[in-house]
Amino acid sequence: MKRTFRTTLLTTGALIAALCVPAMAAPADAADARVDLRVLVVSDGGPATDAIAAELDASGTPYTEIDLTRTDRPVIDAAYLADAVDGRDRAKYQAVVLPNDNPFPANSPEMAALAAYERTYDIPQVDAYTYARPEAGLQYPVFGGYSGSVDGVRAQVTDAGRSGPFGYLDGGVPFEDNSPTVGESYAYLSTPAAGADFTPYVEATIPGSSKRGSLVGEYRHDGRRELVVTFVYNQYQQQFRLLARGIVAWMTDGVHLGASRNYFAVHVDDVFAADDRWNSTLNCTPGDVDCTDPNATPDPIRMVPADVDHAVAWQRERGFTLDFAYNGAGSVDHREDNDGADPLADRLLTERGEFRWINHTYTHAFLGCRQDTGVVPWRCATNTDGSIKWVSRNDVSDEIAGNRAWGRLAGLPLDDDELVTGEHSGLRVLPQQAADNPNLAPALADNGIDWLASDNSREPEQRRVGAATTVPRYPMNVFYNAGRAAEQVDEYNWIYTSRAQGGSGICEDNPATTTCLPAPLDLATGYAEHIVPLERQIALGHVLANDPKPHFIHQSNLAEDRIAYPVLDGVLDTYDTLFTQNTPLVNLRMADIGTELQRRAAWRTAVRDGQVTAYRIGTTVTVEGPEGVAVPATMPEGTTRAGSAFGEAYAGDRSGWTASADAPLTLTLPASATTSTAPDPGGSAPAGESAPDTRVPEGVAEPLTPGAGS
Find the angle CA(338)-CA(340)-CA(343) to the nearest 5 degrees. 80
What mean pLDDT value characterizes the chain? 91
Percent of the chain with pLDDT over 70: 91
The DSSP result for 43-93, as a single string, is: E-S-HHHHHHHHHHHHHT--EEEEETT-TTPPP--HHHHEEEETTEEEES-
Residue 179 in this model has a pLDDT that exceeds 90: no
Cα dist. 653→5, 74, 642 in Å? Answer: 21, 35, 18
Task: Indicate the pLDDT class of residue 374, thresholds 50, 70 and 90.
Answer: confident
> Which pLDDT value is given to residue 692?
78
Give the pLDDT confidence score for residue 696 in this predicted structure: 54
Residue whose C-alpha is closest to residue 250's, from 161, 320, 189, 175: 161
Could you tell me the CA-to-CA distances from 100 to 130, 188, 411 in Å, in that order? 5, 13, 60
Which tens digits make up the pLDDT trace of 439-479? Answer: 999 999 999 999 999 999 999 999 999 999 999 999 999 99
Q: How confident is the model at residue 269 (pLDDT cuts 50, 70, 90)?
A: very high
Model pLDDT, residue 701: 45
Determine how β-strand 414-419 pairs with β-strand 620-624. unpaired
Average pLDDT over residues 577-588: 98
Range of weakest confidence among 80-89, 469-478, 695-704: 695-704
| 94-100: average pLDDT | 98
- 5-14, 174-183, 262-271, 512-521: the lowest-pLDDT one: 5-14
* Cβ contact 621:666 at 8 Å: yes
Go through the domains of the chain in sequence order and give each one's CATH number: 10-257 (3.40.50), 266-479+544-590 (3.20.20)
- d(C-alpha 107, C-alpha 109), whole Å: 6
Q: So what's the pLDDT on residue 31? A: 76
Name the most confidently modeled range: 22-26, 344-348, 692-696: 344-348
Instruction: Give the span between the Cα atoms of 191 and 199, in whole angstroms.
Output: 10
DSSP 8-state code for residue 377:
S
pLDDT average, residue stretch 66-87: 97
Q: Tell me the average pLDDT across 218-238.
A: 97
Q: Is residue 348 classed as helix, strand or coil in its secondary structure?
A: helix
Q: What percent of the chain has pLDDT over 90?
A: 84
pLDDT of residue 694: 60
Instruction: Give the span between the Cα atoms of 639 and 657, in whole angstroms.
Output: 14
Task: Report d(CA 182, CA 375) in Å as an integer.
Answer: 44
Cα–Cα nearest to 414, from 186, 232, 637, 591: 591
Residues with Cβ within 8 Å of 257's Cβ and at least 6 positions away in sequence, in order, are: 37, 60, 61, 62, 607, 612, 614, 623, 631, 632, 633, 634
Q: What is the DSSP letter of 5?
A: -
List helix spans (H) across 233-360. 238-252, 305-318, 328-337, 343-350
Per residue in 632-674, pLDDT (tens digit) is 999 999 999 999 999 999 999 999 999 866 679 999 999 887 6
Lowest mean pLDDT among 224-228, 381-385, 564-568, 691-695: 691-695
Q: How many helices (H) and strands (E) does the chain have?
A: 17, 35
Q: What is the pTM of this model?
A: 0.91
Q: Say if residues 384 and 445 touch (Cβ distance below 8 Å).
A: no
The pLDDT value given to residue 691: 82
| pLDDT band at 27; cut points 50, 70, 90 | low
Distance CA 160, CA 153 (A): 20
Please name which of 555, 614, 589 lies closest in space to residue 257, comparing C-alpha atoms: 614
Other Cβ atoms less than 10 A from the Cβ of 81: the count is 22
Radius of gyration (C-alpha) of the chain in whole angstroms? 28
CA 378 vs. chain centroid, Å, equals 35
Q: pLDDT at position 180, please?
A: 86
- pLDDT band at residue 678 under the 50/70/90 scheme: very low
Listed in sequence order, the residues at least 6 apart from 65 whose beta carbon sits closer than 8 Å to its beta carbon are 41, 42, 43, 53
Q: What is the pLDDT of residue 642?
A: 92
Beta-strand runs (E) in 433-503 = 451-455, 464-465, 468-475
- Residue 680 has what pLDDT? 45
pLDDT at 376: 85
pLDDT of 340 strictly over 70: yes
Q: Please report the pLDDT score of residue 513 as a whole number.
A: 79
Please count the residues of the chain: 710
Residue 684 has pLDDT above 70, yes or no: no
d(CA 592, CA 469): 12
Listed as own residue / partner, the contacts of 63-67 with beta carbons closer than 8 Å and 24 or more positions apart are 63/38, 63/39, 64/38, 64/39, 64/40, 64/93, 65/41, 66/40, 66/41, 66/42, 67/43
Give the pLDDT score at 688.
59
Contact at 8 Å (CB) between 223 and 214?
Answer: no
Arithmetic mean of pLDDT, 259-271: 98
DSSP state of 21: P
Task: Please say if the pLDDT value at position 699 is more than 90.
Answer: no
